Amino acid sequence: MNASVAAVEADALRKTFGSINAVDGIDLALAPGRIYGLLGPNGSGKTTLIRLLAGLARATSGEARILGVRMPSRPMLAKIGYMPQAEALYPELSVGENLGFFGRLQGAVSRDAIDGVLELVELGDRRSTPAMHLSGGMRRRLSLACTLVHGPPVLFLDEPTVGVDPALRVQFWSHFRRLAAGGATILVASHVMDEADRCDELLFVRSGRVIARGTSGELRAAAGSTDLEAAFLHYAGLDAEGRPLVSAT
């Protein structure tokens, strides 16, 4: 993939729900081979933006493109991995059956590919277990495996490590780094600040707009803070105790 060509793009992207501007005219271009962190308070538009970029929702106006193709595009779905906040699993199917099903939806996947993601998420010994019998953390791990099994070049991960133990979380991020080194473009929505520090670049969203973009060091410097969590509060318009800032009159 040509690194000079954006893998994920948005031009004046907008999504409204009645009087609410969930995504309010966002422009962005994300290069391949990098991990991008999407930060912002609850209700800032992160999930809606991801759904628009992935072609799972139609924009009110503007345009989203993946690998140069305008979204939504059914053929492009095979090149996208999307992990939502809520697990999209079939509870009565086993771990292995869920992986096989989602893999076939995106085209044929090999047994080696399924074995590889099972090893990554440490569910190899649960291959025959119905998803409904997994713990919440295990279902989260299976959801990630289903997202990765077809080897997509573009990944949208919405809080992928919620409920995952710290040791396994480190393994996930090591894998994300290997995928990026291989040319994948990864956009991760997260509230975990040490995960944000693992990203190559951060985009901070508030009220449906990207209000800051840069490395974690650049955003900390712009916020006048050496601490990324304090910078998060700054961009969210909150004080050190999480209360809304009141402008002086």
Sequence spans of domains, the chain: 8-91+152-236
**Alpha-helical runs (H) found in the chain:** 46-53, 95-105, 111-120, 136-148, 166-181, 193-196, 216-223, 228-236
Digit-coded pLDDT (tens) for 69-89: 999 999 998 999 999 988 889
Cis peptide before 75 (omega within 30 of 0): no
Digit-coded pLDDT (tens) for 83-140: 998 888 999 999 999 999 999 888 778 899 999 999 999 999 999 999 999 998 899 9
Dihedral of CA 165/169/77/8: which sign? positive
Specify the pTM: 0.90
What is 8-91+152-236's CATH number, 2.40.50.100, 3.90.1200.10, 3.40.190.10, 3.40.50.300? Answer: 3.40.50.300
Task: Name the DSSP letter for residue 39.
Answer: E
